[in-house]
Structure 1
Amino acid sequence: MQKDHFFTRRRMLLAGAAALGAAGTAGGVLAGRSQETTGTAAPAPVPGPQARQALKGSTFRLQPLTGDGPPRAAPRKLKVRREPILRISGRGRQMMLTFDDGPNPDYTPHILDTLAKYDVRAMFFVCGECVADYKELVARMADEGHVVGNHTWTHPLLTTLHRKEIRSEMERTSDIIEDACGERPQWFRAPYGAWNRAAFQLGAKMGMEPMAWTLDTTDWMEPGADTIIDRVESGAAPGVVVLSHDAGGDRSETVHAIREWLPYLLDSGYHLTVPRRRV
């Protein structure tokens, strides 16, 4: 019941964030980044009255994990950006697929199965509290060549948090991702597309580039699989970054829809890419 309550509150906040998306950040380009073959402007909402009534974290928040493992390698520090990366660059019909809020044992394995069937790689922006329960799914993502990104621990609206709280959300998630798959994430996505200066600064300090999206499938609204399929197929274009979700609510429509729109993109000549790992 607590998780259902959390998902309901999240959907309410997502609706508010989507309404604010029109006031979002201008586009950016993923330049100078080589990619592996296997997705134009993401909302970066300016908080309004609805957004200020944000979640303070999930109702089933987990305690920090501790251990006596080897010391973690210092992250490579990056230039601090002023806006997230919104599209991918490169020649030809390239797109990128991204999935947020997971992992979830009811939906993530089916999405991974579909991606494997077509030999496609994607990005998964995971929440630390979900990773804590399903580390094996994050390990599978990495093993199958997908890129695992940081989506905070409890999926809060960062613009309502103090800098110390934002740092905790990000650091704990990077730590548990490393525990699950052996590498710290090199990409970060702000929940609800709500970015602020602290998120950019802290992400760069932790060695993570900020990634947004171009095309929102609106699967978080559960509009029906046909609507999701139509949005992806009609919105497909070179450079597009597709946003879907593998957790955070009932994602059965997403599972069904990807089985239809993924082969359509491939048959249409699109190459689906992920960022190459930095060394």
Structure 2
Amino acid sequence: MVMRRSERAADRPVARRQLLAWAATGAAVLGAGAALTGCSSSGSPSSDAGSADSPTDDFSPAAPVPSGVPGLPTPSASAVAARSKPVYKVHDILPSAPSNAVALTIDDGPSRLYTPQVLQLLRKYDIRATFSVVGMEAHANKDVIKQIAADGHTLANHTMTHPQPLSHRSAAQIHQQLVDTQSVLVDSGAPAPTLFRSPGGDWSPTILETAAQLGMTPIDWDVDPRDWARPGTNKITEKLLAAKPGDILLCHDGGGDRTQTLEALKTVLPALKAKGYTFVTL
């Protein structure tokens, strides 16, 4: 996703200040040589997602990582069996879903500007989606989280600060990123997510095991229009319209200017429904 720091700061000043406050409370420092890649660098063998030349992800702090979020609830979780790889297809997680099912997943919000517009569009076409939310954004926009849940959409954990690559963090940092996001969402009045999506589709045994310990199934995607890079509304539309039954589609409502994504979805959602596809949440 491409966005200058000044533009991002203007879009979410509360979240930035809150992040700095968390980072000041005993945060660990990242290695200076860790590479930061774009949001859509999936490891899926069937994915056409981002590559090594993906743009820097500005969600990732330059140095500190929060070590905890004081005063928030710690939700209980029942561990699930760890998977050896994330879910890339609808029927891998929902075997009884209709044969024509597709799943729309929307990452990196909630955005106070774009998420309400996405929700309005989903209501218009009576579609439910899966929102992979960033904890720092959720904490700054609790009312938007409540609206996502109230509209019947599913919330997935997408880490607290969207650090990339997550697999380069310590086991303790990975756990903190996931559990803090669970706490933030429960504090926002939403149920604790049972789904986890790693930033950039970056997976490791530690990430998969940590998600399982916290009761979450790891989800990825297999249709990526690279909308985070703003390639143009037509390109986003073309890629999404090529979806096949069983596909998990990736889009973004946060992390930058999502006007192109919104414009593409205005065409894509009714067109896929006209093809007879059934939208499901994961």
Bin for the TM-score computed over the shorter chain? 0.7 to 0.9
Return 5+ residue gaps in structure 2 as ranges.
10-35, 92-96
Write the distance in 2 (CA, Å) between the matches of 1:68 and 1:154: 16
Kindly state the Cα deviation for residue 3 of structure 1 after the two structures are TM-superposed. 5.4
- Is contact 2:8–2:255 with CA below 8 Å preserved after alignment? no
Q: Which residue of 1 aligns with 2:81?
A: 79
Aligned-residue sequence identity (percent) comes to: 29
Write the distance in 2 (CA, Å) between the matches of 1:93 and 1:123: 17
Matched ranges for 1:1-279 at <5 A: 2=5, 4=7, 13-14=37-38, 18=41, 21=42, 24-26=43-45, 41-42=46-47, 57-58=60-61, 64-67=68-71, 72-89=74-91, 90-156=97-163, 157-234=165-242, 236-275=243-282
Write the distance in 1 (CA, Å) between the matches of 2:104 and 2:72: 36
Return 5+ residue gaps in structure 1 as ranges.
7-11, 27-40
Write the distance in 1 (CA, Å) between the matches of 2:75 and 2:177: 19
Write the distance in 1 (CA, Å) between the matches of 2:160 and 2:72: 21
User: What do residues 90-132 of structure 1 show as CA deviations (whole Å, max 9, x unaligned)?
Assistant: 4421100000100001111100000011111000000011011
Write the distance in 2 (CA, Å) between the matches of 1:160 and 1:101: 20
Q: Which residue of 2 aligns with 1:31?
A: none
TM-score by length of 2: 0.79
Kindly state the Cα deviation for residue 249 of structure 1 after the two structures are TM-superposed. 1.1
User: Matched residue of 1:125: which SS?
Assistant: strand
How has the CA–CA distance of structure 1 residues 96 and 181 changed in structure 2, closer, same or farther, with 3 Å as cutoff?
same
User: Matched residue of 2:192: which SS?
Assistant: coil
How many residue pairs align between the two structures? 246
- Is contact 2:107–2:132 with CA below 8 Å preserved after alignment? yes
User: Matched residue of 1:124: which SS?
Assistant: strand
